[in-house]
């Protein structure tokens, strides 16, 4: 009989391993766990990280955790590969993957047969800087060429989400980055009619597919 993977324990071990780094960021170790009462499976638990990011557990097995092709396996791999980083660095990587999911890049990478482990390893090398934002803005410029009006529609939605999250006191990084990326895309379209041509130093799906 397979054992049920205790995701809460896995996360707790991840944060406890960072105790020595708490001197610089005293609030980094504040992690809140919540479990929903239930007479039987599925047993649902939530973990809220410093800054407000919240995750829920998956009902998975130990074999799933060792397989990067599964959702929980990919998350397990991401945790293990970031053990030497600070919470702020890990949170930035999570934001990058939220944005990649939002703009459709992760779906495109799945279609090119890149494994989740390869995608995680590749993007772990980068930070959410101007180069990354420009790359994602280029994705939205190409979407605008295919579906005129989608940029302004997404920007209105991002602004609304940002305002709602701000009023609710939630963590804002994801919504703010969406606004910045979409605004950059609109600016590039109006300033350069040929903005859909990628430059050599930008991140690309081609580069990632050649990474492995």
Q: What is the pLDDT of residues 29-62, one digit of tens each?
A: 567 778 788 777 767 778 777 666 777 766 766 6
More confident residue, 50 or 16: 16
Q: What is the mean pLDDT of residues 122-131?
A: 87
Name the pLDDT band for 93 (thresholds 50, 70, 90). Answer: confident
Name the pLDDT band for 20 (thresholds 50, 70, 90). Answer: low
β-pairing verdict for 54-56 and 32-35: unpaired
Rounded CA separation 209/7 (Å): 31
Instruction: Check if the beta carbon of residue 53 is closer than 8 Å to that of residue 42.
Output: no
Rounded CA separation 157/136 (Å): 17
Rounded CA separation 5/65 (Å): 8
Mean of per-residue pLDDT scores for the chain:
78
Instruction: Check if the beta carbon of residue 92 is closer than 8 Å to that of residue 127.
Output: yes
Q: What is the DSSP letter of 29?
A: G
Rounded CA separation 110/103 (Å): 14
**By three-state DSSP, how is residue 35 classified?**
strand
Q: How many C-beta atoms surround the C-beta of residue 47 within 10 A? A: 18
Rounded CA separation 55/90 (Å): 14
pLDDT of residue 199: 47
Strand partners, 124: none
pLDDT of residue 201: 42
- Give the lowest-confidence range in 43-57, 110-124, 139-153, 154-168: 43-57
- Give the lowest-confidence range in 5-9, 78-82, 161-165, 206-210: 206-210
The full set of domain ranges for the chain reads: 7-86+115-124, 130-191
Give the burial string for 93-116 (b: 16+ CB within 10 Å, else e): bbbbbbbbebbebbeebeeeebeb
Where helices occur in 103-128 by DSSP H, the ranges are 105-111, 116-123
Angle between helices 71-81 and 7-16 (to 10 degrees): 10
Q: What is the mean pLDDT of residues 9-21?
A: 69
Task: With a cut of 50, say whether residue 212 has pLDDT above it.
Answer: no
Closest CA to 27 of 9, 15, 39, 14: 15
């Amino acid at each position: 009989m397979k054992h049920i993977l205790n995701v809460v324990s896995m996360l707790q071990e991840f944060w406890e391993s960072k105790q020595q780094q708490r001197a610089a960021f005293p609030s980094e170790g504040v992690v809140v766990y919540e479990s929903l009462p239930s007479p039987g499976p599925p047993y649902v638990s939530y973990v809220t990280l410093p800054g407000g990011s919240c995750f829920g557990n998956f009902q998975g097995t130990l074999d799933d955790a060792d397989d990067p092709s599964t959702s929980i396996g990919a998350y397990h791999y991401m945790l293990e590969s970031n053990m030497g980083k600070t919470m702020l660095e890990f949170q930035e990587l999570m934001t990058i993957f939220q944005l990649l999911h939002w703009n459709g890049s992760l779906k495109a990478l799945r279609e090119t047969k890149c494994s989740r482990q390869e995608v995680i390893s590749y993007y772990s090398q980068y930070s959410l800087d101007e180069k990354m934002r420009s790359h994602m803005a280029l994705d939205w410029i190409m979407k605008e060429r295919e579906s005129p009006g989608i940029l302004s529609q997404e920007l209105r939605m991002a602004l609304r989400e940002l305002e709602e999250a701000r009023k609710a006191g939630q963590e804002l990084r994801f919504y703010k980055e969406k606004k910045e990326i979409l605004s950059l895309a609109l600016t590039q379209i109006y300033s350069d009619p040929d903005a859909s041509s990628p430059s050599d130093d930008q991140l690309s799906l081609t580069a990632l597919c050649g990474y492995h």
